[in-house]
Amino acid sequence: MMADMGAVAEQTAKLHLDEETGELVSKGELKKRQAKRAKKAATAKAKEAKAAVAAAVGGNDKKPAPKPKEEEVVIDSEAMFKQGFLDDVFKERPMKPVVTRFPPEPNGFLHIGHAKAIAVNFGFAKYHGGVCYLRYDDTNPEKEEEKYFTAIQDMVHWLGFTPYKITHSSDNFQKLYDLAEKLITLEKAYVCHCDDTEIKLQRGGEKGATPRYRCEHASQTVEANLKKFRDMRDGVYKPREAFLRMKMDMEDGNPQMWDLAAYRIKSDTPHHRTGWDWKIYPTYDFTHGLCDSFEKITHSLCTTEFINSRQSYEWLNKVLGVYEPMQREYGRLNITGTVLSKRKIQKLVDDGHVRDWDDPRLFTLVSLRRRGVPPQAILDFISELGVTPSTTTIQIKRFEQSIRKYLERTVPRLMMVLDPIPVTIEDATETLDLELPFSPKDPAMGSHTVKFTPTVYIDRSDFREVDSKDYFRLAPGKTVGLMNAPYPIKATSFGKDEATGKVTEVRAVFDKEGKKPKAFITWVGTEGSQRVEARVHNSLFKSERPDDAEGGFLNDIHPESEVVYPDAVIESGIDEVKRRAPWPEAAGESERGKSGPEGVRFQAMRLAYFAMDSDSKDDKIVLNKIVSLKEDAGKN
């Protein structure tokens, strides 16, 4: 029997994946299928190839050279710093040591777009042998919470980066205040009492229809402005009764030079770190450039939405005579087919459409981590896209394709059945031990033992009560191969539940004398296997632009964005995969045993890539689908 098993194992190793159906078939059968499907496409491709070759060689009749075998491309995560936009930025100011910063507002969870900012700022400093600060821009006490501070730091570490120092804009509140008073003494700031309507008129009214003009309060004396500013500090004014404005250039064509606000009153909420010490808080436009200056940032890298702010950033540092960093702007990363707005995600959570901010169907970084997306795969994806001043907008399927390519070479393979039905092999007399590799391409992943039992589970979708010519899996009187099993099996009968009409059991026998089966299916034995809950996630929204849906984005929610299989069965190899997690060891998961449950990743053969969910308990594993095996996966 073991000799037979060895022969079958060798035979199975030669099987090929039919990407259209997800089945493992013989080389000959695969060729037949491919020839049939490609008949029409081949003619068109041949014409295109002939025209392309003719154009390349000036119209002669030379045959094109055979296409070289496509090799697996490994992404160079440092490529975006070696050439292109970021290389030009460094050459513009080749100053070392390089000092950068990642300055998030601690008022929400980071999303996929922030991953690019983390990769750019931390990666730029690392590549040039410098350091990067994690600086919380905590100047708005009304929206900041401890959970956001913690989550941001966790995400930076998860992506594999360690901040040089963790700082806060609030560390500099006194220094910022002192510089605001200095700005007043330089006659470059004044206290304004205008309302929103008046300010809009000063800036040219609706669509700039009227001439711009400066606020009348700008003519106040330095002494008057200092007194009013100190009154703001001391709580004499209520919110919106007064604010400090920078006296810039109302004639400039850049709106970021039209006397921006520097300080506003926010006395109703205590600050997360300083409590009730302050009743006034600096704005982003006043704080950001000065904190960059305090920390001696060499290259202040931000997205192009701040390109107009560069002028006011430089103006402020120059007027105050402080160290001047260099600000440069790159294009942000957007993704279609989802929503990233904090307000909209909160609405999804509040209305129960998703579990929380870390629901695997969202594109916050905590969601992607819970879903099982590896941190290094995200960094590779960003590097693959590159960095330019242009905004990058990609579809979800483009993101998932990159993740899929990464997982294909880095995680082990296991057999799992989502909707199991038992198949009793009537002439199987004993349980056999099968030694199976975790990866057919990477021997270093090792192997594990699986029990092939007289009764095995197959997926309900792999059995049909009535056979057809274009169906290649199990049906009454039909033979199918079981991956790595000693022999194919032929179904002889089946039983059904009269109430539901569902098949409850299939009976079969080994088909030892028949032809090689056209398809092989996955199975799980009854010994050593485990019941698991598998959550198969699809896109949360039906369209590429949920915001454009009639009635709003909530009307675009996909009714089957999550399908739960509560009684899925997985083979015993899952225990070894859990013990050796994370898969792979990379970025912030570079040490065995140091990841969360999401580090337990694997390919469920013929199904999808999965990872353990944080809802898992000692006695029950919960799995999330990371991505499918193929973008348009389907079976015949």
- Identify whether 332 is a catalytic site residue: yes
Query: Which amino acid, residue 142?
Result: E
Write down the residue that tokens 């707005």 correspond to: 341
Report the relative pairing of strands 99-102 and 432-437 from DSSP bridges: unpaired
Catalytic residue (choose from 332, 344, 397, 630)? 332
Report the alpha-carbon distance of residue 195 to residue 180 in Å, rounded: 21
Contacts of 205-212 with C-beta under 8 Å, sequence gap 24+, read 212/250, 212/251, 212/258
Sheet holding 243-246, edge to edge: 189-192, 243-246, 261-265, 280-282
- Which pair of tokens denotes residue 92? 């513009």
Q: Tell how far CA 593 is from the center of its chain.
A: 22
| Number of other CB atoms surrounding residue 538 within 10 Å | 15
Report the alpha-carbon distance of residue 261 to residue 458 in Å, rounded: 66
Helices (H) and strands (E) in the chain, counts: 16, 29
Return the exposure string of 25-61: e unless at least 16 CB atoms fall within 10 Å of the residue's CB, then b. bbeebbeebeeeeeeeeeeeeeeeeeeebeeeeeeee
Q: Residue 369 in contact with residue 595, Cβ under 8 Å?
A: no
Q: Residue 484 in contact with residue 447, Cβ under 8 Å?
A: no
Catalytic residue (choose from 19, 105, 314, 533)? 105
Q: 298: Cβ–Cβ under 8 A, 6 or more apart, which residues?
A: 93, 95, 96, 97, 98, 99, 100, 130, 325, 326
Report the relative pairing of strands 131-136 and 99-102 from DSSP bridges: parallel
- CA distance to 34, 116, 291, 300, per residue, from 122 (Å): 46, 10, 17, 12
Angle between helices 146-158 and 112-127 in degrees, nearest 10? 60
Report the alpha-carbon distance of residue 172 to residue 175 in Å, rounded: 5
- Identify whether 62 is a catalytic site residue: no
Q: Residue 628 in contact with residue 616, Cβ under 8 Å?
A: no
Query: Which amino acid, residue 195?
Result: D
Say whether the peptide bond before residue 582 is cis (omega within 30 degrees of 0). Answer: yes
What residues does 484 pair with on adjacent strands? none
Report the alpha-carbon distance of residue 444 to residue 446 in Å, rounded: 5
Report the alpha-carbon distance of residue 1 to residue 398 in Å, rounded: 47
Write down the residue that tokens 């004499």 correspond to: 236
- Identify whether 435 is a catalytic site residue: no
Report the alpha-carbon distance of residue 246 to residue 546 in Å, rounded: 40
Q: What DSSP designation does 344 have?
A: H
Q: Which residues are catalytic?
A: 105, 332, 342
